Chain A
Amino acid sequence: MSDSEKHTDFEALCAGYVLDGLSVEEKEAFEKMLDDATPEQKQIYEEMQSVKDELALASSPLSPSPGLESAILKNLPSKEKPEPVSTKIFGISPTIYKAAAAILLIVTLSLSYVSYQLSNTVSNQETRLTELTSQLEKQEQLLDILSAREITFVNMNGLDPSPEGYGKIIWDSQRGRAVLQLANLPAPPPESDYQLWLIKDDENPISAGVFNFNQPSDDLFFTVEQLNESPSELSNTFAVTLEPKGGVPQPTGDMFLAGVQN
């Protein structure tokens, strides 16, 4: 279809459309055409609408009965907005329900907040209690070791990797237990542990356990549960080395602390 034919088609449908003369299908088709109409076509549509409305002027004007005006004006329905339908429930206004709902919401939110705070507090207290219990157990173990009839006390000094470090061993050799204090040592890397060694005379080092911590401190105490060795009468050397995670049979890493009990 050429542009000229399309234009003619638009005009034909437009004339029928403004006069309400089209079939349902034609009406739908024209409304689609109108959606995509050119500015010129839209102008034709508006002009035809205007011409259609002017056709009302083709009839002879006539006067209705004189009484019709007052009848019309008298019977005009009220424009006052109708009273809203009462939505009172059990005689209580919706406003009161809304206010109550708002208060209930605020109370619920407040209680939720308090509950959340209490929950946090309880959780913090539980953590603190666990820490205190752990500290108490350590102190009890320390006191238990200190209460032994014979204990071996060895000071360890910091070596090159950490000269400011120091440590102590309190060894209850009769019961094969000891307490190890580590101070001013850096936290071991994630893949490493500190390992305690006992070196009697010139014998091979004996592992006394591995230790780990996250924060350097001067009051880190560890319990050595199995040090079932008899002290040498000549020399007992304790050393702490940095070893692969879980420890090794014989020391391989840097020595951080060492001390001798003569």
Chain B
Amino acid sequence: MIFFWLTILAAFASYSNEEREWLKRIKNGDKEAMKLLYRKYKNLLFGMIVSILKDREEAEDCLQEVFTQIWEKADYFDSEKGRAYSFIVTMARNKAIDRTRSKQFKQADIADNTINDSTIIPESDEKNPHEAMEFRERAAIVRSALQKIPEKERELLIVSYYKGLSQSQIAEKMDIPLGTVKYRMRQGMIKLRDYIVLDK
């Protein structure tokens, strides 16, 4: 497990410093740093938000809200407590999931029971031109790890992360016992962690 952390740290060390520095500058109102952060994260976050909202226009609106919040909440980022990447990605996911919980969105989404989505876990090994260089290697590892875990566990993790559903909501939506949801979620996360470590 120590190896896992050393690997993670090594992977992030090269660019986490610049992100920390950007966030520090953003705290002080530096728009140039904001531009750099936007250019690095825009495709990753936009892809993730589209996967959640399934609407480009809505996703662009959400992305704008996310970066505005990063601008306003940069003071809350504490590099001692977490990574800049986690701070940004968590903020984006929460914003997008919050939108799915709005009344209007629920009405539009009511018939959507899809689990698999072509925007998630792309099968192709071709390099995506929209993928930032720094994220490309890590994304490949995560996608590979997801492909290695059992399909039922993978579906459950994707539904949980990209739809923001609770375990009981997943049990209801997928029509499986709650205990099975808990078991698969645990197993899926542990296997995913182990595969990410192995791949690294």
Contact = CB atoms under 8 A, between A and B. Distances in A.
Contacts of A77: 68, 71-72
A57 B135 contact: yes
A51 B187 CA distance: 13
A57 B160 contact: no
Contact of B42 (A43, A56, A69): A69
A10 B82 CA distance: 22
B106 interface: no
B57 to A, nearest CB: 9
Interface of A is mostly: helix
Interface string A38-82: 000001000111111111111111111100110111011111100
A75 B182 contact: no
A21 interface: yes
B contact residues, range:
35 or more
Contacts of B93: 56
A49 B89 CA distance: 12
Interface residues of A, number: 43
Nearest to A67: B60
Given A12-B183, A12-B185, A72-B64, A59 B160 contact: no
A19 interface: yes
A56 B96 CA distance: 12
A22 interface: yes
Interface string B53-90: 00010011001100110011000000000010110011
Interface string B27-46: 01101001100110011111
A63 B189 CA distance: 29
B193 A51 contact: yes
* Residue from B47, B60, B131 with most neighbouring chain A CB atoms (10 Å): B47
A19 B185 contact: yes
A11 B186 contact: yes
Given A69-B38, A72-B38, A79-B28, A61 B161 contact: no
23 contacts: A14-B186, A16-B186, A19-B157, A21-B185, A47-B193, A50-B8, A51-B193, A53-B89, A54-B138, A56-B89, A56-B93, A57-B139, A57-B142, A60-B51, A61-B43, A62-B47, A62-B50, A63-B42, A64-B42, A71-B64, A72-B63, A73-B35, A78-B29
Interface of B: 1, 4-5, 8, 28-29, 31, 34-35, 38-39, 42-48, 50-51, 56, 59-60, 63-64, 67-68, 71-72, 83, 85-86, 89-90, 92-93, 118-122, 128, 130-132, 135, 138-139, 142-143, 146, 157-158, 160-162, 164-168, 170, 182-183, 185-186, 188-190, 192-193, 196
